[in-house]
Structure 1
Amino acid sequence: INSLVGQKVDGIVITPIDPGAIGPAVQNARNAGIPVVCADIGKTGPVNALLISNNFKGGQMAMDYIDKLLKAKGNKVMKVGTGNVQPQWTYARERSEGFKARAKELGYTVVSEIVVDPPDAAGGYDAMQNMLSAAPDIQGVFFASGREAVGAANAIKAAGKAIVSVGYNGDPEEIQAIKDGILNATIAQQPYNIGYESVKLVKEILAGKKLEDGVVPVDVALLTPDTIGPFQKDYEAKMAK
C-alpha cells in the first residue's frame, strides 16, 4: 500500500489477509487523498468502503429455498437447523442471522444451532450428526460455509435421511455435491462482481460520491441443479474478457 501511495495512484482496492495490520498504511493513503476500498474482507481501519456479499440476504434466500422444497413435498414438520461459522467471522455470521430471521417469518422453529468446529467438511459432518441426535425429525438445514455444508450433506446421506440441505459460498466442492444429488443448493458469492464493483466505487468516490456507513452489499446467487449451468457459463464469459 505504501508503495502504491509513493506511485501516486488514483485509488486502491485491497483484499487483506489481516485487515487489522494495515491500518497505518491505509491512513497514509487517505492522508494523500487516495481512496481505499476493501473488497470482501471485513472492514478494519480507515478504508473508504467495504464491498461484501449480502450475507444476511443470502441466509434468507437459503431459508426460502428450503421452504419451497419442503412445501413441494407436503412437509408438515416445521423444524430446521443451522451450522454456524466461527464467532469471530463477523460478517459471515450474518448468513445464519438472515436464515433464522426468515425461518421465524415463515413459521419454522430452529431446533438446532451449532458452531461448526473445525470449520471444514469433517466438522460439518460431525455437526450434522449431532443435529440428527438432538432433533431426529429435523427437515431442513443451512450450513453457512461451503466445505462444512458438503460434510453435513454427506452425513445426511450416510444416515439415510431426506433432509433439505443448503450451503454457502459456491465452492467447487459444493457445486459437485449438487450435481451428484447430495447437496440441494448453495448460496454463491460472486467475487468477480465484488472486484468489478470495487473499481467502479473508487471512481465514484473520486467523483465526489458520499457513503453513509461505508458498507456496500453485493448480490449473491442461488445455485440449484437448474441454475448451476447458466451461472458457470456466465462466470466463464466474464473471466474470458
Structure 2
Amino acid sequence: MFASDPPDPVRYWPLADLVVRTPRLELRPDDDAGLAALADRAIDGVHPADEMPFLEPWTDDAGNPGFARGILQYAWRCRAEIEPTRWSVNFLVRDAGRVIGMQTLAATDFGILGEVRSGSWLTRSVQGRGLGTEMRHAVVGLAFDHLGARAARTSAFADNVASRRVSEHLGYTPDGVEHHVRRGRPAMLMRSRLTPETWQRPAWTAEVDGLGPCRELLGAPITR
C-alpha cells in the first residue's frame, strides 16, 4: 500500500489560504471550526435586546435551540454559492486568535461593475474598542488596493449610530435611503458609498496574503 498525499484544500478552494491582517486583527474566510466558535460568542449577545441593527432580525432567535446551527448554515450557503459573477465572502475576525465577529465583503458582476458591498458584526464583549473601524478598513483596503474596486457600498439603519460613525470615519458619502419594516415597524436604512479618492486611509496598511489564486473565483482581474 502506498501512502496517499495529504489533501490540499487550497487546490480546489483558494479562499482557504486568503488572509488579511491589520495591527490588531486577522481576517480569514470562514472555516467550520471558526464558525462554531463564532456561534458560541453570538449566543452571549451581539446587541441590546431593544435594538435591531440588522435588516434580517436573525438575532431574535438567540434563545432558540437552532440559533447557533443557523449561523453555520447561513455561512455554508454563502460559501457554496460563491462564483465569479456573484459572491459573498464572510471573513471571520480574530483578535489574538479568538474569533470575535464577522466581516462580509460581497459583489455582483464585480468584473464589470467593480463595486463591492460590506456588512459586519462584533460580539458585545469587544465592542467600543474601534475594532469595527479597523476590520472595515481591512476589507476596503483589500477591495481597493488589491482587487481594483472602484466603489464600496454599505448601509445602516438611521438609529445604528455606531455603524454610521464607522462609515463617516472612513469617508463614505450619503447614497440615498430605503424604507423597510423592522420588527413590524417602519425603519429608515441609510445607504453610503466610498471610492478610493474619498477613503480616509488609516496610518497602517493591511497585509494581504493568498489572494492570487482567488482572483478568478472573485471575478477580479488577473495580475501578471
Q: Comparing both structures, which one devotes a greater share of its residues to helix?
A: 1
Return the TM-score normalized by structure 2: 0.27
| Higher RCO (Cα < 8 Å, 6 or more apart) | 2
Q: Comparing both structures, which one devotes a greater share of its residues to strand?
A: 2
Larger radius of gyration: 1
